Amino acid sequence: MTLKQYFSLVDTIARLSLKAEARRYYFGFWWWVIEPLLYVAVFYVVFEKFLGTRTPDFLMFLIVGKFTFIWFSKTVNYAGNSLIANAGLIGRMDLPKTLFPLAVILECTYRQTAVFALLGMALILDGYLPNAYWLWVLPLICVEALLIVVCGFIASVLVCIKRDFALLINLGMLFLLFMSGVFWDLSAISDQSTQEALLFWNPVAFLLHSFRQVLLWQQTPDLAHLIGLTLLLLGGLALVANGMARYRYYLAQRVVTT
Protein backbone atom coordinates (compact mmCIF):
# COMPACT_ATOMS: atom_id res chain seq x y z
CA MET A 1 0.00 0.00 0.00
CA THR A 2 1.43 3.37 -1.03
CA LEU A 3 1.35 6.39 1.26
CA LYS A 4 -1.28 8.03 -0.96
CA GLN A 5 -3.48 4.93 -0.82
CA TYR A 6 -3.01 4.74 2.95
CA PHE A 7 -4.21 8.30 3.61
CA SER A 8 -6.99 7.97 1.04
CA LEU A 9 -8.26 4.89 2.89
CA VAL A 10 -8.00 6.70 6.23
CA ASP A 11 -10.10 9.57 4.85
CA THR A 12 -12.66 7.20 3.33
CA ILE A 13 -13.14 5.31 6.61
CA ALA A 14 -13.48 8.58 8.53
CA ARG A 15 -16.10 9.98 6.17
CA LEU A 16 -18.11 6.74 6.12
CA SER A 17 -18.12 6.68 9.93
CA LEU A 18 -19.40 10.26 10.00
CA LYS A 19 -22.26 9.39 7.65
CA ALA A 20 -23.11 6.26 9.64
CA GLU A 21 -23.28 8.21 12.90
CA ALA A 22 -25.37 10.95 11.29
CA ARG A 23 -27.93 8.29 10.36
CA ARG A 24 -27.78 6.58 13.76
CA TYR A 25 -28.75 9.59 15.92
CA TYR A 26 -31.39 12.27 15.42
CA PHE A 27 -28.90 15.11 15.92
CA GLY A 28 -26.07 13.14 14.29
CA PHE A 29 -22.59 14.56 14.69
CA TRP A 30 -24.04 17.75 16.21
CA TRP A 31 -23.81 15.94 19.52
CA TRP A 32 -20.09 16.73 19.28
CA VAL A 33 -21.09 20.42 19.67
CA ILE A 34 -23.99 19.92 22.05
CA GLU A 35 -21.98 17.89 24.58
CA PRO A 36 -19.29 20.53 25.31
CA LEU A 37 -22.01 23.19 25.50
CA LEU A 38 -23.81 21.15 28.16
CA TYR A 39 -20.54 20.70 30.09
CA VAL A 40 -19.86 24.44 29.88
CA ALA A 41 -23.38 25.22 31.12
CA VAL A 42 -23.00 22.93 34.15
CA PHE A 43 -19.50 24.15 35.07
CA TYR A 44 -20.55 27.77 34.62
CA VAL A 45 -23.53 27.43 36.96
CA VAL A 46 -21.50 25.58 39.61
CA PHE A 47 -18.34 27.71 39.60
CA GLU A 48 -19.71 31.13 38.62
CA LYS A 49 -23.15 31.18 40.23
CA PHE A 50 -22.74 28.82 43.20
CA LEU A 51 -19.06 29.19 44.12
CA GLY A 52 -18.51 32.74 42.81
CA THR A 53 -15.21 32.19 41.00
CA ARG A 54 -13.01 35.26 40.62
CA THR A 55 -11.69 34.35 37.19
CA PRO A 56 -12.32 37.31 34.82
CA ASP A 57 -14.82 36.57 32.02
CA PHE A 58 -15.17 33.03 33.32
CA LEU A 59 -17.63 31.93 30.63
CA MET A 60 -15.19 32.50 27.75
CA PHE A 61 -12.33 31.14 29.88
CA LEU A 62 -14.36 27.97 30.36
CA ILE A 63 -15.44 27.68 26.72
CA VAL A 64 -11.87 27.90 25.40
CA GLY A 65 -10.69 25.31 27.92
CA LYS A 66 -13.51 22.81 27.49
CA PHE A 67 -13.79 23.05 23.72
CA THR A 68 -10.09 22.35 23.24
CA PHE A 69 -9.96 19.67 25.95
CA ILE A 70 -12.88 17.65 24.63
CA TRP A 71 -11.14 17.18 21.27
CA PHE A 72 -8.24 15.49 23.05
CA SER A 73 -10.22 13.46 25.58
CA LYS A 74 -12.95 12.06 23.33
CA THR A 75 -10.63 11.36 20.41
CA VAL A 76 -8.10 9.42 22.48
CA ASN A 77 -10.93 7.44 24.10
CA TYR A 78 -12.40 6.55 20.71
CA ALA A 79 -9.01 5.77 19.19
CA GLY A 80 -8.25 3.43 22.08
CA ASN A 81 -11.11 1.14 21.04
CA SER A 82 -10.44 1.36 17.30
CA LEU A 83 -8.45 -1.88 16.91
CA ILE A 84 -10.81 -4.13 18.85
CA ALA A 85 -13.79 -2.53 17.09
CA ASN A 86 -12.34 -3.73 13.78
CA ALA A 87 -11.34 -7.20 14.98
CA GLY A 88 -13.16 -8.95 12.13
CA LEU A 89 -11.38 -6.96 9.43
CA ILE A 90 -8.00 -7.24 11.15
CA GLY A 91 -8.44 -11.02 11.40
CA ARG A 92 -9.00 -11.31 7.64
CA MET A 93 -6.59 -8.74 6.19
CA ASP A 94 -3.03 -7.65 6.95
CA LEU A 95 -3.63 -3.89 7.08
CA PRO A 96 -1.41 -1.32 8.82
CA LYS A 97 -2.53 -1.24 12.44
CA THR A 98 -2.16 2.55 12.57
CA LEU A 99 -4.91 2.79 9.96
CA PHE A 100 -7.78 2.30 12.38
CA PRO A 101 -6.86 4.73 15.19
CA LEU A 102 -5.83 7.33 12.61
CA ALA A 103 -9.20 7.02 10.84
CA VAL A 104 -10.97 7.59 14.17
CA ILE A 105 -8.73 10.58 14.90
CA LEU A 106 -9.50 12.10 11.50
CA GLU A 107 -13.23 11.51 11.98
CA CYS A 108 -13.13 13.30 15.34
CA THR A 109 -11.08 16.11 13.82
CA TYR A 110 -13.74 16.64 11.15
CA ARG A 111 -16.28 17.00 13.94
CA GLN A 112 -14.02 19.33 15.88
CA THR A 113 -14.01 21.84 13.02
CA ALA A 114 -17.62 22.69 13.91
CA VAL A 115 -16.60 23.12 17.55
CA PHE A 116 -13.75 25.47 16.66
CA ALA A 117 -16.09 27.44 14.38
CA LEU A 118 -18.53 27.80 17.29
CA LEU A 119 -15.65 28.84 19.55
CA GLY A 120 -14.63 31.58 17.11
CA MET A 121 -18.20 32.86 16.87
CA ALA A 122 -18.57 32.92 20.67
CA LEU A 123 -15.33 34.87 21.07
CA ILE A 124 -16.31 37.46 18.47
CA LEU A 125 -19.81 37.89 19.91
CA ASP A 126 -18.27 38.45 23.34
CA GLY A 127 -15.99 41.19 22.00
CA TYR A 128 -12.78 39.22 21.41
CA LEU A 129 -12.08 40.35 17.86
CA PRO A 130 -9.51 38.56 15.68
CA ASN A 131 -5.99 39.95 15.96
CA ALA A 132 -2.41 38.97 15.15
CA TYR A 133 -2.21 36.68 18.19
CA TRP A 134 -4.93 34.48 16.71
CA LEU A 135 -2.43 33.36 14.07
CA TRP A 136 -0.92 31.19 16.80
CA VAL A 137 -4.11 29.09 16.85
CA LEU A 138 -3.10 27.06 13.79
CA PRO A 139 0.29 25.92 15.21
CA LEU A 140 -1.40 25.13 18.53
CA ILE A 141 -4.04 23.04 16.74
CA CYS A 142 -1.29 21.18 14.85
CA VAL A 143 0.60 20.41 18.07
CA GLU A 144 -2.58 19.24 19.81
CA ALA A 145 -3.39 17.06 16.79
CA LEU A 146 0.09 15.55 17.02
CA LEU A 147 -0.43 14.89 20.74
CA ILE A 148 -3.76 13.23 19.97
CA VAL A 149 -2.21 10.97 17.32
CA VAL A 150 0.59 9.82 19.63
CA CYS A 151 -1.73 9.23 22.59
CA GLY A 152 -4.38 7.64 20.35
CA PHE A 153 -1.87 5.15 18.92
CA ILE A 154 -0.61 4.27 22.40
CA ALA A 155 -4.17 3.90 23.72
CA SER A 156 -5.14 1.58 20.85
CA VAL A 157 -2.15 -0.67 21.57
CA LEU A 158 -2.82 -0.79 25.31
CA VAL A 159 -6.52 -1.63 24.88
CA CYS A 160 -5.57 -4.24 22.29
CA ILE A 161 -3.21 -5.91 24.78
CA LYS A 162 -5.61 -5.71 27.73
CA ARG A 163 -9.11 -4.32 27.45
CA ASP A 164 -9.03 -3.16 31.06
CA PHE A 165 -6.88 -0.29 29.82
CA ALA A 166 -10.02 1.23 28.26
CA LEU A 167 -11.35 1.86 31.77
CA LEU A 168 -8.02 3.26 32.93
CA ILE A 169 -7.91 5.62 29.95
CA ASN A 170 -11.37 6.92 30.86
CA LEU A 171 -10.18 7.52 34.42
CA GLY A 172 -7.06 9.20 33.06
CA MET A 173 -9.18 11.66 31.09
CA LEU A 174 -11.15 12.49 34.22
CA PHE A 175 -7.85 13.07 36.03
CA LEU A 176 -6.66 15.37 33.24
CA LEU A 177 -9.96 17.27 33.34
CA PHE A 178 -9.16 18.36 36.88
CA MET A 179 -5.39 18.68 36.49
CA SER A 180 -5.25 20.68 33.24
CA GLY A 181 -7.01 23.88 34.27
CA VAL A 182 -10.15 23.32 32.21
CA PHE A 183 -12.32 25.22 34.70
CA TRP A 184 -9.71 26.85 36.93
CA ASP A 185 -6.85 29.24 36.20
CA LEU A 186 -3.33 27.86 36.53
CA SER A 187 -2.17 31.27 37.75
CA ALA A 188 -4.20 30.60 40.90
CA ILE A 189 -1.38 28.28 42.01
CA SER A 190 0.60 30.45 44.42
CA ASP A 191 3.79 28.40 44.18
CA GLN A 192 5.49 29.41 40.92
CA SER A 193 7.60 26.25 40.78
CA THR A 194 4.49 24.06 41.09
CA GLN A 195 2.79 26.00 38.31
CA GLU A 196 5.81 25.63 36.03
CA ALA A 197 6.09 21.92 36.81
CA LEU A 198 2.42 21.38 35.92
CA LEU A 199 2.85 23.15 32.58
CA PHE A 200 6.06 21.23 31.88
CA TRP A 201 4.83 17.73 32.69
CA ASN A 202 1.24 18.09 31.50
CA PRO A 203 1.14 18.95 27.78
CA VAL A 204 -2.67 19.22 27.86
CA ALA A 205 -2.46 21.92 30.55
CA PHE A 206 0.20 23.74 28.53
CA LEU A 207 -1.89 23.68 25.34
CA LEU A 208 -5.07 24.84 27.07
CA HIS A 209 -3.13 27.66 28.71
CA SER A 210 -1.59 28.59 25.35
CA PHE A 211 -4.97 28.72 23.62
CA ARG A 212 -6.20 31.10 26.31
CA GLN A 213 -3.07 33.21 25.98
CA VAL A 214 -3.60 33.87 22.28
CA LEU A 215 -7.41 34.01 22.20
CA LEU A 216 -8.24 35.82 25.44
CA TRP A 217 -5.16 37.57 26.80
CA GLN A 218 -3.30 38.63 23.63
CA GLN A 219 -0.10 36.95 24.75
CA THR A 220 2.44 34.88 22.83
CA PRO A 221 2.73 31.27 24.03
CA ASP A 222 6.00 29.88 25.32
CA LEU A 223 7.72 29.26 21.97
CA ALA A 224 10.63 27.25 23.40
CA HIS A 225 8.21 24.95 25.21
CA LEU A 226 6.06 24.61 22.10
CA ILE A 227 9.01 23.67 19.88
CA GLY A 228 10.36 21.24 22.47
CA LEU A 229 6.96 19.57 22.82
CA THR A 230 6.62 19.30 19.04
CA LEU A 231 10.01 17.62 18.67
CA LEU A 232 9.24 15.24 21.53
CA LEU A 233 5.90 14.29 19.97
CA LEU A 234 7.45 13.76 16.54
CA GLY A 235 9.99 11.41 18.09
CA GLY A 236 7.25 9.63 20.02
CA LEU A 237 5.14 9.28 16.88
CA ALA A 238 8.01 7.72 14.94
CA LEU A 239 8.70 5.30 17.80
CA VAL A 240 5.08 4.24 18.31
CA ALA A 241 4.27 3.94 14.60
CA ASN A 242 7.40 1.87 14.02
CA GLY A 243 6.52 -0.36 16.96
CA MET A 244 2.97 -0.92 15.67
CA ALA A 245 4.35 -1.85 12.25
CA ARG A 246 6.99 -4.15 13.69
CA TYR A 247 4.60 -6.01 15.99
CA ARG A 248 1.57 -5.93 13.67
CA TYR A 249 1.10 -9.71 13.77
CA TYR A 250 1.21 -9.77 17.56
CA LEU A 251 -1.37 -6.97 17.70
CA ALA A 252 -3.58 -8.82 15.22
CA GLN A 253 -3.37 -11.95 17.36
CA ARG A 254 -4.28 -10.01 20.50
CA VAL A 255 -7.23 -8.35 18.77
CA VAL A 256 -8.64 -11.65 17.53
CA THR A 257 -8.04 -13.75 20.65
CA THR A 258 -8.93 -11.31 23.47
Q: Give the DSSP per-residue string, the chain.
A: --HHHHHHHHHHHHHHHHHHHHHHSSSGGGHHHHHHHHHHHHHHIIIIIIS----TTHHHHHHHHHHHHHHHHHHHHHHHTHHHHTHHHHHH----TTHHHHHHHHHHHHHHHHHHHHHHHHHHHTT----GGGGGHHHHHHHHHHHHHHHHHHHHHHHHH-THHHHHHHHHHHHHHHHTTSSS-GGG-S-HHHHHHHHHH-HHHHHHHHHHHHHTS-----HHHHHHHHHHHHHHHHHHHHHHHHTHHHHHHHHHH-
CA distance 38 to 48: 15
**Residue 30 has what pLDDT?**
76
pLDDT digits (tens, 9 = 90+) for 34-66: 888 898 999 888 888 787 777 778 999 999 999
**Residue 190 has what pLDDT?**
82
**Residue 21 has what pLDDT?**
77
Side-chain-facing half-sphere of 103: CA atoms under 13 Å: 23
Amino acid at 181: G
**Residue 47 has what pLDDT?**
83
**Residue 18 has what pLDDT?**
85
Please state the pTM of the whole predicted model: 0.94
In this prediction, the residues of the chain whose per-residue pLDDT falls under 70 are 26, 28-29
Please list, in sequence order, all residues whose beta carbon lies within 8 angstroms of the beta carbon of residue 175, skipping any fewer than 6 positions away: none
- Contact assessment for residue 76 and residue 149, using Cβ atoms and an 8 Å cutoff: no
The phi, psi pair for 220, rounded to 5°, reads -85, 130
Distance of CA 170 to the CA centre of its chain: 13
**Residue 205 has what pLDDT?**
97
CA distance 134 to 124: 12
